[in-house]
Amino acid sequence: MEGRGSSVEDGRLTRIMNPVFADLPVTIFEAMSQLARDHNAINLGQGFPDDPGPEDIRLKAADAIVNGYNQYPSMMGIPELRQAIATHYRHWHHLDLDPMSEVLVTSGGTEAIASAVLGLVQAGDEVIVFPPAYDAYNPLIRAAGGVAKFVRLEPPHWRIPEEALRAAITPKTKYLMFNNPLNPAAVVYPREDLELLARICQEHNIIAICDEVWEHVTFDGLEHTPLIAIPGMRDRTVKIGSAGKIFGLTGWKVGFICAAPQLLRVLAKSHQFLTFTTAPNLQVAVAYGLGKSDDYFMRARAELARSRDRLSNGLASLGFPVIKSQGTYFVTVDLKPLGLNETDEQFSRRLVADYKVASVPVSAFYESDAVTSVIRFCFCKKDAVIDEALERLTRAVRGGG
């Protein structure tokens, strides 16, 4: 029994649990959300909009439930959604994807990540991860038998450090996890960094697993460029997207994977033993949504940018050192200039207890050697919620209390 994880006595039974998951703490998102509930606080920690989402897309889903097909759809996704995904990316990113052999529909972005990691990573494979990183990456890599190798990113620019990246690569390095736009740091990576990753992947025969769920949530004229579109990366990139992030419908859990046929065939086999398929009515609605005009997507960005500015400007006026958000639903604050003698987690816990506003400490996105001075706020909220949060934070930096 020893060395195989935690055991739990249950009468005559002893259950042996996988230590990869048994030893994990509750996610910081759930922990901070629970503190928000406990303290009756405004939750600017977890990233979900207050708005119910686009009405026409929701009505399309409702109609598909009442009048449509509600049995198992194809494991790969309904044909009209796969075609819509291919058409969407051809329009926005000039990608030429075969919807039947290079597009797979999943039950959310996290399931897409799981399908990619569990389908590709083998025992002993090393996978480069750039913390601060989404907390699902490392457990999934370990569950697959892989080894996460960390290349640390730092504020305020969070750029890819070439020297550190090259030093982390060994003959066992097979994969690279790359999140762009980057949550929690709210960075949209420039082409220079993408070309660096492309060169390194090609030099060392590395496959890139790209979490690009925030691809439509960019600001100030910045445009997301998928790594798969960089020369030399077409056949060695797994591109992951999420309708939940694109349309602000986070509970729908409709994601997609785009990859060359030889990669997608493997990922599809992994996917079939995870969720197998995704609600067909939601797929119908997402297919409709992906076909909306450019104006829709640009208006959505503009509205989110307005909320970003409302929160960012308000925080700055209160004395918070704000790092400008280039994308995602988030804005970060670097506490270091304040000299508070508190870690980001201590400060976040004090905010929720004393000021009734929940944030997320960015150190939670690291396993080791964490940046401990940055906290993340979510701005995809109604104006009144943002304003009330700012009012509550009035004395958090200046005047104490």
If asked whether residues 252 and 373 sit together in one domain, one would say no
* Res 395: pLDDT: 84
Inside any domain, residue 398: no
pLDDT at 24 over 80: no
If asked whether residues 346 and 263 sit together in one domain, one would say no
Inside any domain, residue 191: yes
Whether the Cβ atoms of residue 344 and residue 372 lie closer than 8 Å to each other: yes
If asked whether residues 220 and 106 sit together in one domain, one would say yes
If asked whether residues 273 and 310 sit together in one domain, one would say no
pLDDT at 136 over 50: yes
Could you tell me the pLDDT band of residue 48, with boundaries at 50, 70 and 90? confident
CA 172 to chain centre: 26
Q: How far apart are CA 154 and CA 157, in angstroms?
A: 7
Encode pLDDT of 91-128 as tens digits. Answer: 999 999 999 999 999 999 999 999 999 999 999 999 99
Encode pLDDT of 199-242 as tens digits. Answer: 999 999 999 999 999 999 999 999 999 999 999 999 999 999 99
Report the interhelical angle of 280-290 vs 55-67 (nearest 10°): 140
CATH of the domain at 283: 3.40.640.10
Residue bearing the bigger pLDDT, 47 or 9? 47
If asked whether residues 172 and 313 sit together in one domain, one would say no
Arithmetic mean of pLDDT, 290-298: 97
* Res 2: pLDDT: 38
SS (H, E, C) 363-387: HHHCCCCCCCCEEEEECCCCHHHHH
Could you tell me the pLDDT band of residue 18, with boundaries at 50, 70 and 90? confident
pLDDT at 13 over 60: no
If asked whether residues 112 and 63 sit together in one domain, one would say yes
Could you tell me the pLDDT band of residue 398, with boundaries at 50, 70 and 90? low
pLDDT at 28 over 90: no
Tally of CB atoms within 10 A around 260: 17
Could you tell me the pLDDT band of residue 33, with boundaries at 50, 70 and 90? confident
Residue bearing the bigger pLDDT, 15 or 366? 366
Arithmetic mean of pLDDT, 71-84: 97
pLDDT at 7 over 70: no
Arithmetic mean of pLDDT, 372-391: 97
User: What is the number of residues in the chain?
Assistant: 401
* Res 401: pLDDT: 42
If asked whether residues 214 and 118 sit together in one domain, one would say yes
Arithmetic mean of pLDDT, 12-18: 57
Residue 185 sits at φ, ψ, to 5 deg, of -80, -10
Q: In what order do the strands lie in the sheet with 207-211?
A: 103-106, 255-258, 237-242, 207-211, 173-179, 126-129, 147-150
Q: How far apart are CA 144 and CA 114, in angstroms?
A: 9
If asked whether residues 280 and 313 sit together in one domain, one would say no
Q: How far apart are CA 59 and CA 73, in angstroms?
A: 20
CATH of the domain at 334: 3.90.1150.10
Q: What is the mean pLDDT of the chain?
A: 93
pLDDT at 188 over 70: yes
Query: For the chain, how many structural domains are there in total?
Result: 2
Q: How far apart are CA 319 and CA 396, in angstroms?
A: 9
Q: How far apart are CA 356 and CA 40, in angstroms?
A: 7
pLDDT at 25 over 80: no
Task: List the single range of 3-7, 182-186, 225-229, 359-363 with lowest mean pLDDT.
Answer: 3-7
Residue at token pair 């065939």 = 265
- Which residues form the domain of 343? 7-52+295-392
pLDDT at 1 over 50: no
If asked whether residues 179 and 200 sit together in one domain, one would say yes
pTM of the model: 0.92
Q: What is the 8-class DSSP label of residue 286? A: H
The residue from 290, 323, 351 where one domain ends is: 290
How many distinct helices (H) and strands (E) make up the chain? 14, 15
Inside any domain, residue 219: yes
